[in-house]
Amino acid sequence: MSVRKIVTVVEEIRTEGGREVNRSARVAVVAAVIENPWAGQGFVEDLSPGIDAHASDLGALLAPAVLDALDAPAEAYGKAAIVGLDGEIEHGSALIHTLRFGDHFRKAANATTLLPAVEKRGPAGVAFDIPLKHITDATIRSHHQTVEVRISDAPHPNEIVIALAAAAQGRPQQRLAPLSTEQ
């Protein structure tokens, strides 16, 4: 696996809606900018060898890094694959939509839910939103949120940005009623 760089972003929200947040809201993102393992090969029918060669290593690299950056227990999480213009969205999906990748994060965060994801193709500097959900109950509304990410020089046409995001809490100042009140 060829990693060009790792990018870490930590956001700490201290006020929201004109009021101080009771406990600062922390969100961390760690992204690896990697060479697309299928770049330059034309249409690849069987993506399995590339998945086997790279997905677990990416999960093992990113999961502890994002939790270290968060510096608090994760309550919400998500993932992303942003493919450069010479790749297919399926290339990014192949790397992140496998237990070989996601189980590293689930185990490290003591999570049980599926990781919400974004996949897209774009040029260097494309903005993307990583959706986050609660780590053990995807119906908890307070933890449905997104974090916007942009890496100015990535992905190059033959690269993929693979990212994990974690939040130490739900949305700051959340006040929606539980889903059960509408059922």
Q: What is the mean pLDDT of residues 2-6?
A: 97
What's residue 179's pLDDT?
72
Lookup result for tokens 């990748």: 101
Per-residue pLDDT tens for 11-30?
Answer: 999 999 999 998 889 999 99
**Could you tell me the pTM of the whole model?**
0.94
CB of 152 closer than 8 Å to CB of 127? no
- Please report, for residues 19, 20, 31, 182, the alpha-carbon distance to residue 13 in angstroms, rounded to integers and kept in the order given: 11, 9, 21, 30
**Longest pairwise C-alpha distance within the chain:** 53
The DSSP letter of residue 94 is H
Distance of CA 74 to the CA centre of its chain: 13
Q: List domains and CATH numbers for the chain.
A: 3-182 (3.30.1330.110)
Token pair recorded at residue 109: 């965060």
